[in-house]
């Protein structure tokens, strides 16, 4: 609880995965991927209840072993790779009987996120009276240097600019959603059915904790960062 607001954390973890088979339970530095998110949620000072939304028996059993509550099984129709995050979130809110003020969405693909990141995002959302807050990190590549190619392989700038940016230091600060934490006021979410809107505020996270696992390469990067965490001050609590 924070500022007398009841807070529910939801961990979405469907069984299917194309990039990495069985991604949510693949091993990372000796623990199943989903365990990292469960542990971070359990260490949060503000979360009142953490639940899992999954269609997969193995993921459900594993989550329970790591101390996560599983009050329901996600319907198969909401476990397809074409289903947006909104559907499973609304299903969870409709299925549980308990009422909460805010929801925190914690995707298992952000294993290096820590409890302090979660709590900062919650505090910022509530303290600034915003309907939603999302974690971001500095973009690894600036879009001013991004191009598409025409039929003759000529470079076409993605962004149109009147003035050419010659140096990295001249480019504007660009942030990307890192997918680690989304906080939303539940009443607002039920009405608007989204996390990102003009009113959404951002909560910064360091790049070292912002790896979002989609590929085997991402998994290896995460493993390397964690095993060498003594060299990265921003990987510690």
**Domain chopping of the chain, boundaries:** 7-135+176-235, 140-173
Any long-range contacts for 62-71 (C-beta under 8 Å, 24+ apart)? 62/25, 62/32, 62/34, 62/35, 63/11, 63/13, 63/34, 63/38, 66/32, 66/34, 66/35, 66/38, 66/39, 67/38, 67/42, 68/11, 68/38, 68/41, 71/95, 71/96
Which whole number is the average pLDDT over 145-151?
90
Chain-centre distance for alpha carbon 140: 17
DSSP string, 127-142: HTT-SEEEEEEE-SS-
**Encoded tokens for 102:** 């805010």
Which whole number is the average pLDDT over 183-208?
96
Examine the pLDDT at 70 and tell me if it is beyond 70: yes
Burial 144-183 (b: 16+ CB within 10 A, else e): beeeeeeeeeeeeeeeeeeeeeeeeeeeeeeeebbbbbbb
Class of domain 7-135+176-235: alpha beta
| 224: helix, strand or coil | helix
Examine the pLDDT at 82 and tell me if it is beyond 70: no
* Residue 202 burial by Cβ neighbours in a 10 Å radius (0-12, 13-18, 19+): middle
- Summarised one tens digit per residue, pLDDT across range 199-233 is 999 999 998 899 999 999 999 999 988 888 777 66
Q: Give Cα separations from 115 to 10, 52, 188 (angstroms).
A: 14, 17, 24
> If you ran DSSP here, which 8-state letter would residue 169 be given?
G
pLDDT number for residue 174: 84
Burial 68-87 (b: 16+ CB within 10 A, else e): bebeeebeeebbeeeeebeb
Examine the pLDDT at 189 and tell me if it is beyond 70: yes
Quote the mean pLDDT of the chain.
90
């Amino acid at each position: 609880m924070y500022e007398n607001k009841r807070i529910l954390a939801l961990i979405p973890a469907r069984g299917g995965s194309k990039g990495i088979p069985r991604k949510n339970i693949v091993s990372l530095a000796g623990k199943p991927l989903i365990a990292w998110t469960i542990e971070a949620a359990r260490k949060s000072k503000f979360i009142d209840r953490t639940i899992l939304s999954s269609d997969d028996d193995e993921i459900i059993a594993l989550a329970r072993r790591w101390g996560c509550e599983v009050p329901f099984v996600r319907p198969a129709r909401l476990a397809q790779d074409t289903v947006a995050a909104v559907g499973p979130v609304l299903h969870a809110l409709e299925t549980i009987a308990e009422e909460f003020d805010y929801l925190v969405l914690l995707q298992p693909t952000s294993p290096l996120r820590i409890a302090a990141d979660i709590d900062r995002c919650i505090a910022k959302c509530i303290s600034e009276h915003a309907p939603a807050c999302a974690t971001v990190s500095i973009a690894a590549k600036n879009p001013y240097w991004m191009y598409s190619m025409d039929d003759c392989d000529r470079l076409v700038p993605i962004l149109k600019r009147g003035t050419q940016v010659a140096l990295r230091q001249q480019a504007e600060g660009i942030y990307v959603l890192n997918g680690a934490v989304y906080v939303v006021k539940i009443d607002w979410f039920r009405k608007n059915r989204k996390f990102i809107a003009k009113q959404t505020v951002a909560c910064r996270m360091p790049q070292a904790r912002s790896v979002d696992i989609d590929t085997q390469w991402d998994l290896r990067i995460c493993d390397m960062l964690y095993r060498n965490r003594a060299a990265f001050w921003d990987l510690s609590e």
